[in-house]
Structure 1
Amino acid sequence: MLTARRRAAAAAVILSGSLLLASCGDSDSGASDGKTLRLWHYEAPDSAMGQAWNEAIKEFEAKHPGVKVKFEEKGFEQIQKTAPMVLNSSDAPDIMEYNKGNATAGQLSKQGLLTDLTAEAAKRGWDKKLSAGVRTTSMYDTDGVMGSGKWYGVPNYAEYTMVYYDKDLFEKYKIAEPKTFDELTAAMDAFAKKGVTPLANAGAEYLAQQYLYQLALSKADRSWVDKYELYKGKTDFHDAAWTYAAETFADWVKKGYISEKSTSTKAEDAGVSFIQGKAPILFSGSWWYGRFQTEAKFDWDSTLWPGSNLTLGSGGNLWVVPKNARNKELAYDFIDITMSKKIQNLLGDKGGVPVAADTSAITDPKSKELISDFNTLSRRDGLAFYPDWPVNGFYDVLVSETQKLMTGDEKPDGYLDALQQAYDKGAPKQ
């Protein structure tokens, strides 16, 4: 997902000092005796992924007598900022979690800093376990563009967006829970007329642009996504899908479905407003799901965006094996364990979205629903990635331009002009 969301998720695990200094300060750093697996990841210990990887470590050590996993807890920003420097040194870990996409894992693969996992993916069956949409972020071509070429990472979970709604608020205001897009807009209209802003939003971060991208996706197909995200053809921001999205989003602000005041709101604030029962509807990602299960004190439910085959989402972060890793076979074995049904099922039960679980083995009812909707998306190849992915720096452009659309300082046509200009400047020449 986006760095803004990851910064918040990783805040609890950031260690003091730089990543490079931390690794250099280790006396047994880079041990190559085949008895130590150096593992870096930035998942919080109580998150679904953190709990699953902790169990995977125990299983790995049980299956490899005499081998110890040296887990080094790193912050997202540490790994993001210093990975190229560290991976180009003798202090590289054997395996680490890294963000997926052209600007991150794609760049490392292009720089020759990651191990080609193509043969291992085929040998160990990882390629068969992952759906087409999830596999996209595993592979990168010689330009570092995802979707084709060699395997440089293995997604260890997945994520996708959905409509969350507060059933108690719907009942309080006697508004029917929506099943179709028309019912969703009717519900938003009913809330607005009762003085309630229906949609939690965050114009200062990723939420607002994701509402808009979802509206475009509802009028798009896979070839449209491939043009935009993978450069398989020319993207026209004045086409029917983008035009509909910009005009509808601006109209929703005018009608009071989205508060103009939310231009300065952060994603955390939007999520908390839903948790506190102040907003009846939130469209956002599965990364909120476990938190809502724990913190929301009301009856809530979720559904895929109605009337659209596509939604935002992708495989989660990647296990990558640095080119300079000392114990690559051990790294492959660890990846294999995290991809096993036992670990994937555990991840699912803890509120994550597994990529290779046995859904029938998941016991938590809410988690089963989360995974069932993801499987529905996977079957229809419905993961459409994120709007900021195609071009370096595009996230900031989307934030600022969508804020202008919300305040009325920019009209839909001018908004789309600005996106076209920034996209064309950063995308590879067709």
Structure 2
Amino acid sequence: MRFPRTMISAGAAIVSLALVLAGCGSSGGDDNDSSGDTGTGTLKLWHYESANGAMGKAWDKAIEVFKTEHPGVTVQFERKAFEQIQQNASMILASDQAPDLMEYNKGNATAGLLSSKGLLTDLSDEVAKRGWDKVLSPSLQTTARYDDKGVMGSGNWFGVPNYGEYVMVYYNKALFKQYGVAVPKTLDEMTAAMDTFVAKKVTPLGMAGAEYPAGQLYYQLALSKADRSFVDNYQLYKGSVDFKADPLKYGADTFRDWVQKGYISKQSASLKAEDMGTAFIAGKTPMIVSGSWWYGRFATEIKKFDWGTFLFPGNKLNAGSSGNLWVVPEQSKNKKLAYDFIDITMRPEIQTIMANNGGVPVKADLAKVTDPKNKELIANFDAITKADGLAFYPDWPVPGYYDVLVAGGQSLINGSKNPDQVLADLGKAYDQGVKEIKNG
């Protein structure tokens, strides 16, 4: 999960859908269907990356290249809000207003769910034809392939990622130096570092309980006591998951303990990820635990202090995966154009733009990556993937789980529920979701 999601009412969803559809017209009938010439027509493209982010910059260049190579084609690009697509994807893709190509969240609860409904094009033949499977490592392919139940890891290709992402610790080097704190290499050293900040009346860890960061920290803590079999059981349903026992119990218990010790502010229960990120940018926070998607923005916007990153201390498993997917809606009227655009985004020159702007590419020319921080970012991701250390995200297993996870994180921060109660809620929603998926 790279972006926040919020709960909205059914009425709000309808209004939002109306706004989405009102913002885009038809792609021009069947000017260029999946079997036609790719020299003319319209490519309707949606994504939700910011213009100053690594992917946004790389894909803007990809649009330029596409236009040069397809001079008779009109590109109708729209930058959508993540919420618009996330909340309304099923309705949009079942209509004749679907784009030809769009960025979409990966995992069982998102791309898997849409694939099981027949709303996404099976890309398997195109993947083999264009060699995309040769570019993407097996761990990155996991989130691109789904079986007939919508469970990731096997079956046909319903999306193509062209970047990676992972959760890490961002830290303010100036504050670490000011308070005499060294970069921790173990979880014990990290808690000792946070004790030092607390003793100086500084809250060491930025947090956002109203969106994904709380759930990701809970998961990172659980992963510190987990192995690959746990991840396979939790994410791929290869075995049972006990929410009353470690590693999940350790994750929830430790998260609450960190709140009680002052490592995390109780006021952060109502904060969103943007609040957490801007506080770090402003130099107010020693550390945040979050994903590589912040990297390019921090590199652009942080001017007054030096900052760095390190992997969550001691973990062999980390939340992370391929990036979001390029998906081609089944209703797309211009599938060949969509395939051509995906292919351009996989080229080394486009990937290198991403790398030089704080992204995690899958096929960059690393000799042309100039910034030491960017090289470190990519090197850490390579180390994780080579060690089979990607553990995906905590909200992925079943549809609707994100909202349950956010509610649980808020409860741990504000103390409205204890860890056992939160785990009971998470376990109930998980078990029900898995049962529904398996029963089809």
TM over 0.5: yes
**Residue of structure 2 equivalent to 1:243:** 249
CA distance in 1, matches of 2:168, 2:134: 26
CA distance in 2, matches of 1:28, 1:282: 46
Give the 3-state SS of the residue equivalent to 1:160 in structure 2.
strand
Map 1:284-323 → 2, pairs under 5 A: 284-296=290-302, 297-323=304-330
CA distance in 1, matches of 2:203, 2:316: 27
**Residue of structure 2 equivalent to 1:402:** 409
CA distance in 2, matches of 1:30, 1:402: 47
Match for 1:397: what amino acid?
A: V
**Change beyond 3 A, Cα 1:89–1:252:** closer
Match for 2:353: what amino acid?
A: L
Query: Contact 1:30 / 1:91 at 8 angstroms: preserved in 2?
Result: no
**Residue of structure 2 equivalent to 1:379:** 386
CA distance in 2, matches of 1:394, 1:16: 22
Identity of matched residues, %: 59
Query: Contact 2:110 / 2:399 at 8 angstroms: preserved in 1?
Result: no
Give the 3-state SS of the residue equivalent to 1:4 in structure 2.
coil
**Residue of structure 2 equivalent to 1:11:** none
Gaps of 5+ in 1: 8-14
**Residue of structure 1 equivalent to 2:191:** 185
Match for 1:133: what amino acid?
A: S
Map 1:310-389 → 2, pairs under 5 A: 310-389=317-396
**Residue of structure 2 equivalent to 1:10:** none
Query: Contact 1:209 / 1:399 at 8 angstroms: preserved in 2?
Result: yes
**Residue of structure 2 equivalent to 1:132:** 138
Give the 3-state SS of the residue equivalent to 1:428 in structure 2.
helix
CA distance in 2, matches of 1:29, 1:366: 46
Gaps of 5+ in 2: 8-15
1:30 to partner: Cα distance: 5.0
Match for 2:174: what amino acid?
A: D
**Residue of structure 1 equivalent to 2:128:** 122
**Residue of structure 2 equivalent to 1:209:** 215
**Change beyond 3 A, Cα 1:279–1:91:** closer
CA distance in 2, matches of 1:92, 1:61: 21
**Change beyond 3 A, Cα 1:188–1:86:** closer
Match for 1:251: what amino acid?
A: D
Give the 3-state SS of the residue equivalent to 2:396 in structure 1.
coil
CA distance in 1, matches of 2:252, 2:94: 43
**Residue of structure 1 equivalent to 2:31:** 31
1:103 to partner: Cα distance: 2.4
Match for 2:203: what amino acid?
A: T
Query: Contact 1:310 / 1:382 at 8 angstroms: preserved in 2?
Result: yes
**Change beyond 3 A, Cα 1:6–1:63:** farther
**Change beyond 3 A, Cα 1:172–1:52:** same
Query: Contact 2:2 / 2:291 at 8 angstroms: preserved in 1?
Result: no
Give the 3-state SS of the residue equivalent to 1:177 in structure 2.
coil
Query: Contact 1:359 / 1:371 at 8 angstroms: preserved in 2?
Result: no
1:75 aligns with 2:81: yes
1:310 to partner: Cα distance: 1.0
1:188 to partner: Cα distance: 0.8
CA distance in 2, matches of 1:251, 1:90: 51
**Change beyond 3 A, Cα 1:422–1:113:** closer
Structure 2 length-normalised TM: 0.89
CA distance in 1, matches of 2:79, 2:364: 26
CA distance in 2, matches of 1:131, 1:83: 28
**Change beyond 3 A, Cα 1:132–1:181:** same
CA distance in 2, matches of 1:6, 1:154: 26
**Residue of structure 1 equivalent to 2:11:** none
1:21 aligns with 2:22: yes
**Residue of structure 2 equivalent to 1:165:** 171
Match for 2:186: what amino acid?
A: T
**Residue of structure 2 equivalent to 1:197:** 203
Give the 3-state SS of the residue equivalent to 1:104 in structure 2.
helix
1:5 to partner: Cα distance: 6.5
**Residue of structure 2 equivalent to 1:144:** 150
**Change beyond 3 A, Cα 1:18–1:201:** same
Larger mean Cα displacement after TM superposition, 259-268 or 312-321: 259-268
1:410 to partner: Cα distance: 2.8
Give the 3-state SS of the residue equivalent to 1:103 in structure 2.
helix
CA distance in 2, matches of 1:27, 1:374: 38
1:344 to partner: Cα distance: 0.7
Larger mean Cα displacement after TM superposition, 361-370 or 68-77: 68-77
The total of aligned residue pairs comes to 422
**Change beyond 3 A, Cα 1:85–1:31:** farther
1:386 to partner: Cα distance: 1.3
CA distance in 1, matches of 2:186, 2:367: 28
1:426 to partner: Cα distance: 1.8
Query: Contact 2:6 / 2:403 at 8 angstroms: preserved in 1?
Result: no
Query: Contact 1:20 / 1:82 at 8 angstroms: preserved in 2?
Result: no
Query: Contact 2:106 / 2:324 at 8 angstroms: preserved in 1?
Result: yes
Query: Contact 1:23 / 1:29 at 8 angstroms: preserved in 2?
Result: no
Q: CA RMSD in A?
A: 2.3
CA distance in 1, matches of 2:434, 2:377: 34
Query: Contact 1:167 / 1:177 at 8 angstroms: preserved in 2?
Result: no
1:88 aligns with 2:94: yes
Larger mean Cα displacement after TM superposition, 363-372 or 400-409: 400-409
Match for 1:100: what amino acid?
A: K
CA distance in 1, matches of 2:191, 2:80: 43
